[in-house]
Homo-oligomer: A and B are copies of this chain.
Amino acid sequence: FQNTHTFYSDDKDDTCILNFTWVNYKMEPGNVSIASQSGTFASHINFVMEELDLNMNKCISVGNESNIDICDCLEYFEMDEFTDVILLYIEEVKRGRRFIELVKRIVPKKPIIVLYVGGSEGGAMAVSSHTGSMAGNDKIFNALFEQTGVIRVYTLQELMDTAALFSKMIPKNILPANNRIAIVTNAGGPGATMADKASRLGLKIPQFSEELQKDLKKFLPHTAQGDQASNPLDYTFSIDPTTYFKRVPKMLAKSGEIDAIVAYGAFGADFFSYRTVGKKILESPKYKKLIYMYTQMFEAAVDSARRIIKKYKIPIVYVNLMGHWQDEVIEYLNKHGFPTYKYPHEAVNALNHLIQYGVFLQQTQK
């Protein structure tokens, strides 16, 4: 390897961890592998990975590809039983014809998510000074990606966010076949923001049937806007975990009217911290008991959600702006299979890519 400093590998039996980088990472074997023309994107990313509960299997930095290139990595990841999701950071593709052959063959089996930066004028200029490559044309790459079902992202954050979702959904084969999403929220603003983003990405936010609305209305709190069970489904101020994590997802998933769910307001028992209820109340025995009960309800409801997404093959992603404060909840959700993001648009973006991949597979398998 030239111009590269990363290569490590985790195996499922945890017996073979190789880390050739200069950082002693906390590593857990994951199911996502990356081949990158930047060493940084195969090493500095570990800290955002931790936050997103995203674990890698293999990280290969190919640098300027003096001996091994992106195509070699693709061939390796294709066969590697530990890799479910393939990430690429690309500045240019040297063996174009081979690359097309490979992605065509691999995408129907494993998703490929690409951050390609060589397509713009500024990107091309930078790339030529970084790896000495001639960069390509955005339009040609977009056509290639679209035709072969490769997922293109435009920022490193989008790459990480999307990988976190794919990493959790692909092994369970939870892949939407269509683009109808339900937006669930316990606060109006984030609901509107997610609807705005989803709409700009071309996702459908269908109105629910009268039958489904009737069911959903049963659990709407009186604080919800206008007493409507519309989409976005707004149950402002509700903090009942059984409704939020179990009843509503189940009704939506069963209905057959939507293909994916994005939900704002993933609150757990940490919500009732010294910052909201005060230290004095928090430490009273009565309150401690309530928190314990709430936690039990929360965990049972999340367990139900886990079974719901598996049974109905409907992905759910959560959003919680209060990352700092709610870390335990976010960790719990992530560990139980639900990618949880800080900002509303991150969740919608990642979900959009999962839908894109699901729809592609659906269409090509026809």
A265 shortest CB reach to chain B, Å: 9
The answer to whether B196 and A24 have CB atoms under 8 Å apart is: no
A142 within 8 A of B: no
Residues of chain B with a CB closer than 8 A to A40's CB: 187-190, 321
Q: Which of A185-239 contact B (CB under 8 A)?
A: 187-200, 203, 205, 225-226, 228, 230-232, 234
A53 shortest CB reach to chain B, Å: 13
The answer to whether A25 and B275 have CB atoms under 8 Å apart is: yes
Question: CA separation between A225 and B47, bound complex, in Å?
Answer: 26
Chain A 30-70, CB-CB to B under 8 Å as 1, else 0, gives 00000011111100110110110000000000000000000
A129 within 8 A of B: yes
The answer to whether B129 and A187 have CB atoms under 8 Å apart is: no
Given contacts A125-B205, A199-B120, A199-B122, contact A225 B324 (CB under 8 A): no
The answer to whether B189 and A38 have CB atoms under 8 Å apart is: yes
Residues of chain B with a CB closer than 8 A to A198's CB: 122
A23 within 8 A of B: yes
Residues of chain B with a CB closer than 8 A to A228's CB: 129
The answer to whether B117 and A23 have CB atoms under 8 Å apart is: no
Question: CA separation between A156 and B230, bound complex, in Å?
Answer: 23
Determine which of B196, B345, B346 lies in contact with A120 in the assembled complex, contact meaning CB atoms within 8 Å. Answer: B196
The answer to whether B276 and A24 have CB atoms under 8 Å apart is: yes
The answer to whether A187 and B39 have CB atoms under 8 Å apart is: yes
Given contacts A126-B195, A126-B196, A196-B120, contact A275 B345 (CB under 8 A): no
The answer to whether B156 and A344 have CB atoms under 8 Å apart is: yes
The answer to whether A234 and B275 have CB atoms under 8 Å apart is: no
Residues of chain B with a CB closer than 8 A to A194's CB: 126
The answer to whether B47 and A323 have CB atoms under 8 Å apart is: yes
Question: CA separation between A323 and B91, bound complex, in Å?
Answer: 25
The answer to whether A189 and B24 have CB atoms under 8 Å apart is: no
A-B contact pairs, 21 of them (CB 8 A): A3-B225, A24-B275, A38-B190, A39-B189, A40-B189, A40-B190, A44-B321, A45-B321, A47-B322, A48-B343, A117-B196, A122-B198, A123-B192, A123-B196, A126-B194, A126-B195, A126-B196, A132-B226, A155-B197, A156-B343, A157-B342
Q: Which 8 A-B pairs have the closest CB atoms?
A: A38-B189, A122-B199, A123-B196, A126-B195, A130-B188, A40-B187, A122-B195, A117-B196
Instruction: List residues of A whose CB falls within 8 A of some B CB.
Output: 3, 22-25, 36-41, 44-45, 47-48, 50-51, 89, 91, 115, 117-123, 125-127, 129-132, 154-157, 183, 187-200, 203, 205, 225-226, 228, 230-232, 234, 274-276, 278, 321-325, 342-346
